[in-house]
Amino acid sequence: MNRREFVQTVAGSVLAAHALPALAGEAPAAKPSATDRVTLGKTKVRPTRLGVGTGSVGGSVQRALGQEGLAKLVRHAWDRGIRYIDTAGNYGTHGMLKAAIQGLPREELVLLTKVWLGKSLDVPKTLEQFRQELGTDYFDVTLLHCVMKPTWPEDFKKHRDDLSAAKEKGIVRAVGVSTHGMPGLQQIAGCDWVEVALLRMNHNGAHMDGATGQWAEKVGHEAAVAEIKKIKAAGKGVLGMKLCGNGDYKDPEDRRKAVQFVFGNKLADAVTIGCKSPAEVDEALENIARALNA
């Protein structure tokens, strides 16, 4: 083989190698994003990584948008690919959401709601009320809202049993808890009943779980994060909340750092961020995409 033939052969081989993926019909691998579907622990529930939160400052932020404003926010999130919505009976947003999601394919949505714990709580009656308020036959996830005491698994056994019965009837697809405070948080990993846990997490501990569960108490950030990792390692579906420090993070860099911390440390399967404008939805989408592809 002379020099010209050698060069032509090498050049042809290089071109062929580059052409192989196209010839084989292989597309470039898609980068992970905030709108990817993820599985919550051992359940069959698959929300998008980012969910629309409707409970900022007890839901007052989203209620202040009015029906038209909330519908605009939800529809913008839908158009951007978000399919997960977080709500609760005590947020006062069920009825507003019913109108906002009207006409959207229910099977595409993951709806999470919560029942507020109290002596007078009647779970079956409450779920029926919620179904009417939201105009849905079932909920993808229903949580016992804000467990705090170390004895909550025993204290709320009847409520847990009622949610399990609702799951057997198809009214609920997955069950679990949200929590405020380390005493409640520390019981989750060892509680077989819990399938999904909605937990407070961010980069510096703002409104995360501390020793007493008080709203703005000083938090042992490392201890709280360690417990979250323990819960995730136990096979629970983990949803993150308070990534924006309940609205305390006014600096966009803090919001970026919080998202980076959560996804960089693989603390959650998906997260809820309470937004009040399409621009904030877009920012959350971009922050999560950056964190996943860092």
Strands 172-179 and 270-273: unpaired
Helix (H) / strand (E) containing 49: none
At 232 the pLDDT is 98
- DSSP string over 70-110: HHHHHHHHHHTT--EEE--GGGT-HHHHHHHTTTS-GGG-E
At 7 the pLDDT is 42
- CA separation for the pair 23, 67 (Å, rounded): 51
**For the whole model, what pTM was predicted?**
0.89
* Tokens encoding 264: 């960089």
At 27 the pLDDT is 66
- CA separation for the pair 197, 240 (Å, rounded): 8
End-to-end CA distance of the chain: 48
At 215 the pLDDT is 84
Strands 50-53 and 139-147: unpaired
> CA nearest 77: which of 48, 99, 55?
48
Domain ranges of the chain: 33-292
Please state which of the four CATH numbers 3.20.20.100, 3.30.420.130, 3.40.50.720, 3.40.640.10 is assigned to the domain occupying 33-292: 3.20.20.100
- CA separation for the pair 74, 112 (Å, rounded): 15
Q: Which residues contact 24 (CB under 8 A, 6 or more apart)?
A: none
- CA separation for the pair 40, 172 (Å, rounded): 14
Q: Position 224: which residue type?
A: A
Q: Do 146 and 117 touch, CB atoms closer than 8 A?
A: yes
- CA separation for the pair 212, 68 (Å, rounded): 39
- Written as tens digits, the pLDDT of the chain (294 aa) is 554 554 454 444 444 444 445 455 566 778 999 999 999 999 999 999 999 999 999 999 999 999 999 999 999 999 999 999 999 999 999 999 999 999 999 999 999 999 999 878 999 999 999 999 999 999 999 999 999 999 999 999 999 999 999 999 999 999 999 999 999 999 999 999 999 999 999 999 999 999 988 888 889 999 999 999 999 999 999 999 999 998 899 999 999 999 999 999 999 999 999 999 999 999 999 999 999 999
